[in-house]
Amino acid sequence: MTSSTVVLALAAPLLAVTGGLALRFVRAPRTQDIANVVVAVTTACIALAVAVDAMFFGTPAAPGTWVAVDPIAGPFLAVIAVVGLGSALVSPAYLENSHASFFRPESARGWYYLCLHLFWAALLAIPVMGNLGIAWVIVEATTGVSALLVAYSGRRSALEAGWKYLVLTTIGLTVALLGIVVLYSAATSEGIGLRTLSWAWLASVSDSMPHQAALTGFLLLLAGLATKIGWAPVHNWLPDAHSEAPPPISALLSAALLPTVMVVAWRAQIVLSPAIGSATGLRVFQGFGIVSLAVAVPFLWRPLAWKRLLAYSSLEHMGVLALGIGFGHPLALAGVVLHMTGHAVAKSLGFWAAIPLFQIRPSARTLPVRGLLRADPGLAATMSLSLASLSGLPPSPLFFSEVLILMGGFLSGHTAVAAVAALLLSLGFLGLAQVLVEGLLARGRGPRPELIIGMREIKMLGIAATGLLVLLSLTTPLLPGSALVRDLTAVLP
């Protein structure tokens, strides 16, 4: 990890913050939209450069280091960069079609862009933070700004969802903070202050930490972070927040925030394994994974509004990622990287598509989508691509990732857990496939507006998403033995 890489890793979130502040005080809407795109493209390019460096040249950070551009950070940083860029690009279309906000009308656009870029900046910073304490502070910072975005429309349901998200995740992060305090007390031996919570320092002293204290701190930390990740049974905020937030924000919440907080939990499991026992940490992840799948599947069989359906799909896929980490096998880790990336592309596309969907079918905010194919074949195809990929329909990369994760589970000796997961994933596939066939692809009637704002952007992103999903599927045979997976395996105990 070179000094230039560290500078670039910090430059991306700093640029997003600076750009967001500048956009807040720009008055002309057209100028705001153009500046938003310029800032987003520049930020994403810098973040992707850091992600590539981390995946191919990243090394573990030294004890006390504040920034950790290592192989674990790479895939997560790349996903955040791509999802954030896409959300910034479709935001002008959303704002053009949205006329309600709890902000004052003359400043609502500026506040939206400020909160969007602050949220994105925090997400870009979390994977490269080399210190558990600082990572917690930034995760907490995402709560306030994203709660404002969830409630942006000013509707009663949105305000309720924003408050629910704010209260529940704050309570969870308070529990996580208690766990961090316990870990700090167990790891402190030489009085080096906040640097005691650096990932490298915790790893170096983990084998000498008291077992009971380390286990208590770890369980409190994961139980608290689980509320932010959206794992069941502490996922209650997730369906409401995802369905009420503006579509570009829903994409960031689902495809970027949830896995980004998960990387903090993953790092904690890695560095504390000598103190808590490797098997114990893995079983905790497996437990959250199975429970999340079991809770999500019945909702995927119910007729739900489009964004609410995608929200429960997020619960399912966070469960799959938890299982992949919990199995700990190289094949499962390859599946985690592939699944996290494929989910981000497909889920973001589904949320972005809600911008034109709500113009064509306003009822889709609260009711299931029916007969969209005749109303707009292009939009129906885009949404079908998203849903088919999320269901794990071959040759979706999520099909291959789930196969890799399940194979890793069987090969690592977790046969019963892998078998139950396979059954639940099959049931989830059937539920989403039913929505795909009977909802999106069924022929129906309905009025179609003459002008649909944002449809051009959605079609372009749909083409880009198709290319990315195909590329991910083609790289599946290469991933298990790749340098990235070898590096990920090397950091495991």
**DSSP-assigned letters across all residues of 337-353:** HHHHHHHHHHHHHHHHT
Q: Would you state the pLDDT for residue 280?
A: 93
* Non-local CB neighbours of 302 within 8 Å, separated by 6+ positions: none
Query: Which residue, among 197, 137, 218, has the nearest Cα to 173 in the 3D structure?
Result: 137
pLDDT at 189 over 70: no
pLDDT at 488: 79
Q: What are the distances in angstroms from CA 467 to CA 221, 385, 477, 484?
A: 38, 12, 17, 22
pLDDT digits over 435-469, tens only? Answer: 888 776 666 555 566 668 888 899 999 999 999 99
pLDDT tens for 200-234 read: 889 888 888 999 999 999 999 999 999 999 999 99
- Which of 6-10, 173-177, 299-303, 324-328 is the least confident region? 6-10
**Which residue shows structure tokens 């809770």?**
295
- Alpha carbon dihedral 202, 206, 211, 215, in 10-degree steps, equals 40
3-class SS string, 183-219: HHHHHCCCCCHHHHHEHHHHHHHHHHCCHHHHHHHHH
Residues 462/330, Cβ–Cβ less than 8 Å: no
pLDDT digits (tens, 9 = 90+) for 81-104: 999 999 999 999 999 887 677 777
Q: Which of 180-189, 266-275, 443-452 is most confident?
A: 266-275
What pLDDT is stored for residue 190 in this prediction? Answer: 54
Q: Are 196 and 188 spatial neighbours (Cβ–Cβ below 8 Å)?
A: yes
* Digit-coded pLDDT (tens) for 373-401: 877 888 989 999 999 999 999 999 999 99
Helix (H) or strand (E) holding 92: helix 73-97
- Residue 67 phi/psi, 5-degree rounding, is -120, 130
Q: Which helix (H) or strand (E) segment is 251 a member of?
A: helix 247-251
How high is the pLDDT of residue 446? 59
Q: Which residue from 251, 266, 332, 259 is spatially nearest to 75, judged by alpha carbons?
A: 259
Average pLDDT over residues 295-300: 95
- At 480 the pLDDT is 86
pLDDT for the residue 1? 59
Number of H helices, E strands in the chain: 21, 0
Tell me the β-bridge partners of 198: 131
pLDDT tens by residue, 34-87: 999 999 999 999 999 999 998 888 777 766 678 888 888 999 999 999 999 999
Closest CA to 254 of 269, 265, 244: 244
Q: What is the pTM of this model?
A: 0.95
Q: Which pLDDT belongs to residue 254? A: 95
pLDDT for res 103 = 78
5: Cβ–Cβ under 8 A, 6 or more apart, which residues?
50, 53, 54, 57, 69
Q: How many CA atoms lie within 13 A of 377 on its CB side?
A: 0
pLDDT at 15: 96
Angle between helices 330-352 and 306-327 (to 10 degrees): 170
Q: Give the per-residue SS3 of 43-73.
A: HHHHHHHHHHHHHHHCCCCCCCCCECCCCCH
Largest CA distance in the chain: 71
pLDDT at 450: 63
Residues 398, 30: Cα–Cα separation, whole Å:
38
Of the candidates 488, 408, 480, 404, the residue with the CA atom closest to the CA atom of residue 73 = 488
Tokens found for residue 275: 């103190």
Look up residue 337 and give its amino acid. V
126 pLDDT band, cuts 50/70/90, is very high
pLDDT at 169 over 70: yes
Higher-confidence residue: 479 or 264? 264
Query: Which pLDDT score is estimated for 80?
Result: 97
**pLDDT greater than 60 at residue 164:** yes
Of 264-268, 341-345, 357-361, give the lowest mean pLDDT range: 357-361
Stretch 336-343: mean pLDDT: 96
